[in-house]
Amino acid sequence: MLLRSLRLLTFGTLALASLARAQTCPPAQTDIAALRALKTAQWKLEDAAKREALAVALIPCLASPNPELRDGIAFEALSTWLRSKQLSAATQQTLFQRLLTQLQSEAHDTDGFARPFATLALSEVARADRVTPFLSIEERASLVSTAVMYLQGVKDYRGFAAGEGWRHGVAHGADLLMQLALNPAVDKGQLERMVTAVQTQIAPISGHSYIFGESERLARPVLYAARRGLLDAAWWQAWVQAVVSPAPLSAWDAAFESTAGLSRLHNTKAFLLALYVNVQESRNEVLLSTLLPPVRDALLKLP
């Protein structure tokens, strides 16, 4: 009995050690010097098997507090390989499953990097699926639901910090929704949910003021959803009216009585201006007919 217990303990210890190694960053099979060299070589790795394995092994680096490993290496490598179609459908599926699990996790992310960068990497996976579909209808629906849930739930509004790099949860959430909005396999009901999710972060109820380009990033999924032409002018009219509502302020003039009110006004105006300029410059008939009139009217209501 004692021998069996020792064997189980040894097996458990080895399993935990194996898991720890699997979660290391840099990955166990390489080091930061080799990764820097690979970056200098523009991520050219001729051995396909090594490239596929490294892509998966880099996932833990997306949560690294080191911005070079997180953003400059892990995300950049994954983005490059996905966009140049250098990863197999099987590896893309593995990336999808692991990143989705990371995004759905309720584990406390003390540093605040894991979920924003899982989201950003998922935006590249979503792009790859849009270009060459590999997700099932059910998997894509799960991605839409998770993306909506994530953006609506963002409460950490840290953008860039010297020495730490980017977190940018709202912007990364918007990037994922943008890639999904571009996908013709995403239906009308899903577009409605996505655009409604964007609305919840246009002017955060916390009173946070955006200073890292979040308003422009939030505008992108809305623009591409509108370009699809599935949501009619009446739908957009009602949506923009909700966006320009001063609530919980009694009226927009009351914004000048508090910093929270001023933040709400600043964020709302920045978002609507981003929409207005992009619609005007697009010369797209669908955008000009459905989105431009309510956005112009909304801007005229703001002080």
Tens digits of residue pLDDT in 42-94: 999 999 999 999 999 999 999 999 999 999 999 999 999 999 999 999 999 99
Per-residue model confidence (pLDDT) at position 215: 99
Which residue pairs from 198-201 have beta carbons closer than 8 angstroms and sit at least 24 positions apart in sequence?
198/151, 198/174, 198/222, 199/239, 199/242, 199/243, 200/151, 200/152, 201/151, 201/152, 201/154, 201/170, 201/173, 201/174
Does 16 have pLDDT greater than 60? Answer: no
CATH number of 24-154+165-201+215-228: 1.25.10
pLDDT-based confidence at residue 5 (cuts at 50, 70, 90): very low
Does 115 have pLDDT greater than 80? Answer: yes
Domain limits, the chain: 24-154+165-201+215-228, 232-303
pLDDT-based confidence at residue 102 (cuts at 50, 70, 90): very high
Mean local confidence (pLDDT), 161-187: 98
